Structure 1
Amino acid sequence: MAENSTHKARDQDAVEAEASAWLVRLEGEDFTDEDQAALDAWFQQSPDHERVFRDVAETWNIMALAVVDAHFGAQKSTPLAGGHATSLLGRLKDAFRKRWFTPAFATGFAALALVAVVSVLFEPGGRPAMPYGQHAVQQFVTAVGRQSLETLEDGSRIRLNTDTKLSAQISEQSRTVELIKGEAMFTVARDVSKPFIIKAGNHEVRVLGTVFSVQKRPEGITVRVQSGRVAVSSEEGEGVDSVILTEGQQVLANDDSGMGAAQTLDVEQAFAWTNGLLIFDGTALPDALAEIDRYYFRDIQLQCDQAQSKKLSGVFRIDGLDEALEVILADASLQMDTHVKGKLLLQCPIDPEG
């Protein structure tokens, strides 16, 4: 039921974690020939391993040099990456670790490289270039089943829902967020001189001050407004289609069919996830399971035709979804199969006479 891209993202996270662990070991004093052989074997397991290893190492290099510059008096104009940058295994080993790069810090630095908030500075060509700390592009990430609350420089707050990734940049001229995947709720600080813009694919949401959420789906985006007004627009061929949403309204902007009509929404139900809850009120069981699946560590699949038409009502805690599944199993007379790795199969009961 969950998209293949979700599983790929989970696999990517696992490979990045392994790459980070290898980098920490590589920086240790006791890295042996046996360790090198094991690392080479890890590279051979998949062509993605070496690629991800290089990407993580480059990210560490950018972050490490920024910290080294701050602690060892480098000029702010020093480029952070590219041909002028010193490698992680060079300058970091020779200067950074001599002072305070202990094994404990190495482990913390590995976590830092994968932390949910990473500031990296990019030019349009993708190369870090601006001095560290000047209008940094902040990246925020949550894992499956996790949420986080972040505050931007202008005071705006972003609550990220499960399996979400976005970037944000605040400058003197603009406030821009790119929603790469997932869902986020925005409480925007009012500033009439700098509209707050959220971009998701070819869709754009523009506000001055309001509380709303944007969810990016495979087919487009859904925008829900808790309070205030937002303008949602989508590129349609050579033109732009747009709609104004007010408090208690939502709209689906589809990548293929374009902008839908504004609809009334149940605000309490739509934003229940910000309080750690999922609310269903006569929701079709396949739709309810699709929502639960966004937060669950297994891929939930409903494999029972007679249960497709069933409805689900109830309030469930996001951190207690096993209880929700128990209710569903009982109410829909389903049985659960967990033998397939990474999947939770909900099946019709076996007929003992069949």
Structure 2
Amino acid sequence: MSPTESQNSKPVPDEVLAEASVWIAKLHGDSRGRAIDNGFRRWLLAHPDNARAFELATEVWEDAENLRRFVTFRPATQIERSSAWRPAFAALACAMVLVLVAVVWYQYAGVISTNVGEQRQLVLQDGTRVFLNTDTAIVVKYDEHARRVELRRGEALFNVAKQSDWPFIVTAGDRQVRALGTSFVVRRDAQRLAVTLVEGSVQVSPVPPAITQLMQTVVDAPVAVEQTPAKAENRNNGEFTMSAGQRLTFSAGAPAKLDTPAVEKTTAWRRGQVILDDTPLRTAAAEMNRYNESKLVVEDVEAGELLINGLFQAGDSTHFANAVAEAYGLTVSKRGNDIVLSGKPVQ
């Protein structure tokens, strides 16, 4: 085998694929110019892995573009149950997130955040991998007693490195999630907190006041902190032990809710997707708005109650609006940077 063949047989490093995805986003963006083109050429020639990564990324981009024309949206009256998602997931399982991705090592306490439309992958000092979704902020604070991470806003997936004598604890609002070696997602919105267990086992419980003070000692760039969901009362003093596949949700003014959604839907953002299943259009628009500075606005109250089913690309609000408008006879227009869906629905 020649040196070139041997080199091509090796897998492309994840961080190089991440860099390639960034260049694809830049090359297809509105701000593309001579500086971006020159920078891309320098990066492409810097290492043989870069060209291989860009070729793979381009194939995924083109496949995703083709698939979007056929599987991104179906009206609620046409959606099949159970197996409706499988073809899309099988085809898009390897698709990269079409927003900025970074791979970074962190070995100190501090605030780590993403902007709207950005995602980031972190490897913490113990080997734990953290995936941050759009508009997310966390604080990392490890000491000899525990590995602690605070989710101040947004959504994060934690693949925890197992160390039985060094517990891993995520706090969000007035709740904490305690795990050893496991994988789980925590999402913190203004009036809602949700913990989804992908695999393993975790315990969710109220945060002791001393721990709240500990995490507040971290000083960094200002970070907006959401309202804490109301504490849920239960017979176990607010403690819950979760099993794989379960989601525990705390909403302001409501008791805690335990359900078992399809994990591939709750983690779809890791693949750059938004999956909607009988979701009211107004709620669906709010979900799409998480990934884009340009906001979707649904003007008609009746239209806002339409049930939407489908698979969409995170950040592609224009395609989402056009698909919904075509299915229900609505009108799409621009109002400043916003995308407005107006008119009475035709069903």
Same fold (TM over 0.5): yes
- Alignment correspondent of 1:155: 127
Tell me what 2:154 maps to. Answer: 182
Q: Distance in 2 between matches of 1:237 and 1:291?
A: 25
| In structure 2, distance between residues paired with 1:255 and 1:210 | 28
Whole-angstrom distance in 2 between the partners of 1:338 and 1:242:
47
Q: Deviations over 1:298-329 (max 9, x none)?
A: 22221112213312122112253422221012
CA 1:254–1:329 in 2, change beyond 3 Å: closer, same or farther? same
Q: Relative to structure 1, is the Cα distance of residues 240 and 116 closer, same or farther in structure 2, using a 3 angstrom cutoff?
A: farther
Residues 1:218 and 2:190 aligned together: yes
Does the 8 Å CA contact 2:303/2:344 hold for their aligned counterparts?
A: no
Measured in 2, the distance between the counterparts of 1:118 and 1:163 equals: 20
Structure 1 residue identity aligned to 2:247 = Q
Q: Out of 229, 236, 241, which is 2:201 matched to?
A: 229
Correspondence for 1:196 = 168
State whether residues 117 and 138 of structure 1, in contact with CA within 8 Å, keep that contact through their aligned partners in structure 2.
Answer: no
1:343 aligns with 2:338: yes
CA apart distance, 1:288: 1.4
* Cα distance, 1:166–1:337 mapped onto 2, change above 3 Å: same
Give the Cα–Cα distance (whole angstroms) in 2 for the partners of residues 231 and 290 of structure 1.
30
Query: Which residue number in structure 2 is paired with residue 328 of structure 1?
Result: 324
The TM-score, its normalising length taken from structure 2, stands at 0.58
Identity over the aligned pairs, expressed in percent? 30
How do 1:60-75 residues align onto structure 2 when only pairs under 5 Å count?
A: none
Whether 1:243 aligns to 2:215 is no
Residue 280 of structure 2: aligned partner: 284
Relative to structure 1, is the Cα distance of residues 187 and 117 closer, same or farther in structure 2, using a 3 angstrom cutoff?
closer
For residues 138 and 325 of structure 1, what CA distance do their matches in structure 2 show? 38
Provide the residue aligned with 2:60 in structure 1.
Answer: none
Larger Rg over CA atoms: 1
**What is the distance in 1 between the residues matched to 2:252 and 2:237?**
12
Aligned to 1:313: 309
Aligned AA (2:153) = K
Q: Deviations over 1:218-271 (max 9, x none)?
A: 11311111111111123659995121111111011235445x132111111111
Q: Where do 5+ consecutive residues of structure 1 fail to align?
A: 1-114, 120-134
Letter in 2 for 1:274: R
Unaligned runs of 5+ in 2: 1-101, 208-230
Among 281, 296, 305, the residue aligned to 1:300: 296
Do 1:116 and 1:140's aligned partners in 2 also have CA atoms closer than 8 Å?
Answer: no
Letter in 2 for 1:300: L
Instruction: Check if 1:205 corresponds to 2:173.
Output: no
Q: 1:345 to 1:140 in 2, by over 3 A?
A: same
Q: In the superposition, relative to structure 1, how do residues 262 and 272 fare at CA in structure 2: closer, same or farther (>3 Å)?
A: same
Give, in angstroms, the shift of residue 281 of structure 1.
2.5
- Taking a change above 3 Å as real, the CA distance of residues 332 and 324 of structure 1, as seen in their structure-2 partners, is same
Alpha-carbon displacement from aligned partner over 1:86-142 (angstroms, at most 9, x marks no partner)? xxxxxxxxxxxxxxxxxxxxxxxxxxxxx99797xxxxxxxxxxxxxxx62132211
Give the whole-Å Cα distance in 1 for the aligned partners of 2:154 and 2:118: 12
Matches within 5 A, 1:18-33: none
Find the aligned partners of 2:131 and 2:249 in 1 and give their Cα distance.
20
C-alpha distance in structure 2 between counterparts of 1:316 and 1:287, whole Å: 14
TM-score, normalising length from structure 1? 0.57
Q: What SS class does the counterpart of residue 316 from structure 2 fall into? A: helix
Change (3 A) 1:255 1:177: farther
User: 1:27 maps to which residue?
Assistant: none
| Corresponding residue number in structure 2 for 1:254 | 251
Residues 216 and 116 of structure 1: CA distance in aligned 2, closer, same or farther (over 3 Å):
farther
Give the aligned length: 220
Cα distance in 2, alignment partners of residues 257 and 180 from structure 1: 21
**1 CA distance for matches of 2:105 and 2:244?**
33
Choose between structure 1 and 2 for higher RCO, CA contacts under 8 A separated by at least 6 residues: 2
Task: Note if contact 1:285-1:311 (Cα within 8 Å) is conserved in structure 2.
Answer: yes
Aligned residue for 1:241, secondary structure, equals coil
User: AA paired with 1:183?
Assistant: E
